[in-house]
Amino acid sequence: MKAAFMAEMKAENIKQFLYNFTQLPHLAGTKENLHLAQQVQAEWKEFGLDSVQLVHYDVLLSYPDDTKPNYISIIDEHGNEIFNTSLSEPPPPGYEAVRDVVPPYSAFSAQGMPEGELVYVNYGRTEDFFKLEREMGINCTGKIVIARYGKIFRGNKVKNAELAGAKGVILYSDPADYCAPGTDPYPNGWNLPGGGAQRGNVLNLNGAGDPLTPGYPAKEYTYRLDKASGVGLPKIPVHPIGYHDAESLLRNMGGYAPPHSSWKGNLNVSYNVGPGFTTNYSTRKVKMHIHSHNEITRIYNVIGTIRGTVEPDRYVILGGHRDSWVFGGIDPQSGAAVVHEIVRSFGKLRRKGWRPRRTVIFASWDAEEFGLLGSTEWAEENAKVLQARGVAYINADSSIEGNYTLRVDCTPLMYRLVYSLTKEIPSPDEGFEGKSLYESWYKKNPSREYKEVPRINKLGSGNDFEVFFQRLGIASGRARYSKNWNVEKYSSYPVYHSVYETYEIVERFYDPAFKNHLTVAQVRGGLVFELANSVVLPFDCRDYASAVSNYAHIIYNLSRNHEEELATYNVSFDALFSAVKNFTEVAASFHERLQQIDINNLIAVRSLNDQLMFLERAFIDPLGLPGRPFYRHVIFAPSSHNKYAGESFPGIYDAMFDIKNKADQHEAWEEVKRQISIAAFTVQAAAGTLKEVP
């Protein structure tokens, strides 16, 4: 059946679905996106799913004001606007007549018209602000900062600027980060044009979902926080611009020279840090005009199911978002088209009388771009059932962000499954004809941690698996085709979240034959199939043991930068290493027992499967991480400095971060000790769940 399922998926169908999904903008909360939800619902029903529902929530979204556009100006000493940034992106060829293209904006920005001197803060990372404040003595209080996009999640840039005292943030795309060498700006190539800008939310939700209903689903009956006091809302205005406009703002920057060549992008400007402009222009200031508003708006998830035969109360979930900033040519529709084809293929098997062993749930999430809202609200509403019955979640945002090789981020429980599955899928890459996906992936991206396997990354966040993995502890994974990160230094892909993310850019430049899309469909679909249909869950707890051991050594080695303090404050990692050793031994003997199982003994199989299913759950701490109650996984969390990146042993890592600059050293190291003990307890407790039931 698996062979039939894999063979059923066709590149031509994915191509057609992508075209259909990208002809209009599908911004969350708009009627176009409701219409698309209804279309997806109707087609999933037609494909043969057992049930397909629209599930709605009323969440806080953010839109520009139709009558008062957002822009930034340079003003002279009399307040006259000498220069204004553009109000929209020049439309790509063929799209000039499309209505309802939302202009570039930073969703959830505060309103305001601050004016002040400009300070250039490089990428706006924690280390960039350390450089400015500690080494260069530059105070950002009352300044407007300009940061280039890239390296980290934009919400972290805004939070860092706020903490530094800035009164406004300008985000811009530098050609160094959004133009790959050797290709042209769209439409002649796949680079970002100078008039293009990156939309995106600037929240710091830390997993809360809808800002007004943290922890609970945003239904009609739900109590809501005041609109002004929602979770994670920035307190200062923020706005994104393209590199043509950025050049005008940065051209006459004065003040300090850039501290290092790494602060220089590829614009023809000095990259002076400021504050303010050069002497000739010192009376000029920058003024922001931001009038966007937040409003409670209805959003719609599409939830489809195929009921399992043997274990209908065990759920394998495939989910990806449907809402886009504009056309969504890559993000999300290259992913949604793949999900559509996976659903069609499952439906075809189902109509021929086949059913999976476990229930499969398919989800088209809404409002991902506004803070993962659709997925998080649904998981909040269904948390009790999901934590009791959720086997795995496979994420399906953009299928491509490049065309070099596969990229996988997942729980260590899925490593072996991913490796064995990719050995069965043909490689789509040039020069690897007749070879497996595993071979091309391994050749192009070998692991740094483990010998002779391809690299698999830790899960961070910035996508819809967050609530399932980081909050609920459901084993999760994601896969897409990506670029060569060793060679191609630009961030994400150049036209990310701009109007130029069209069907044509995919069809002309990224994947003309849609062979990479098909490969991603086979990986995502194959994972769902195996997880839903294997008699014994295809999870290997020994790989979790190796990973946890590896992470324990990494965090211990980090602590050894502070040998003196470790001695002074009597800090020991012994308990953690002891727990890791126990976990490793218990995982090995559990795996042995798994080999001996009589697969005809349904209760024995179910019992062991439940131990495997609940292993991820065992790493959840109900109290959550310090200051981040919805990040509850003790082994993994989104980095406190970059939501997109995963951090291991985040409690210990954050407690040790920049510890030499903490005022009270005793208190700081006591917190490190507390975090080590929480980690040791959690690893030991997880080991306990794998022990043979006495």
- Residues tagged active-site: 368, 572, 610, 633
In angstroms, how far is CA 367 from the centroid of its own chain? 14
- Contact status, residue 382 vs residue 336, Cβ threshold 8 Å: no
Residue 542: burial class (beta carbons within 10 Å; 0-12, 13-18, 19+): middle
Among 390, 459, 383, 379, CA closest to 418: 459
| Cα–Cα dist 648/637, whole Å | 7
| Cα–Cα dist 341/9, whole Å | 6
| Cα–Cα dist 331/315, whole Å | 26
- Contact status, residue 472 vs residue 613, Cβ threshold 8 Å: no
Return phi, psi of residue 368, to 5°: -65, -40
Secondary structure of the chain: what % helix, strand, coil (to 5)?
40, 20, 40
* Structure tokens, 352: 């021929």
Element (H, E) at 300: strand 293-306
Among 334, 159, 167, CA closest to 234: 159
Q: Taking CA 29 as the corner, what is the angle to CA 26 and CA 34, rounded to the nearest 5 degrees?
A: 60
The single-letter code of the amino acid at 556 is: Y
For residue 116, what are the β-bridge partners? 286
- Contact status, residue 647 vs residue 544, Cβ threshold 8 Å: no
**List of E strands, 545-671:** 636-639, 642-648
Which strand ranges, in their side-by-side order, compose the sheet holding 390-395? 51-63, 293-306, 358-365, 311-321, 390-395, 476-482, 405-410
Return phi, psi of residue 84, to 5°: -125, 140
For residue 406, what are the β-bridge partners? 481
Give the three-state DSSP class for 665: helix
* Total residues belonging to the chain: 694
**Residue pointed to by tokens 């990229």:** 407
Among 326, 321, 336, CA closest to 498: 326
| Cα–Cα dist 659/123, whole Å | 23
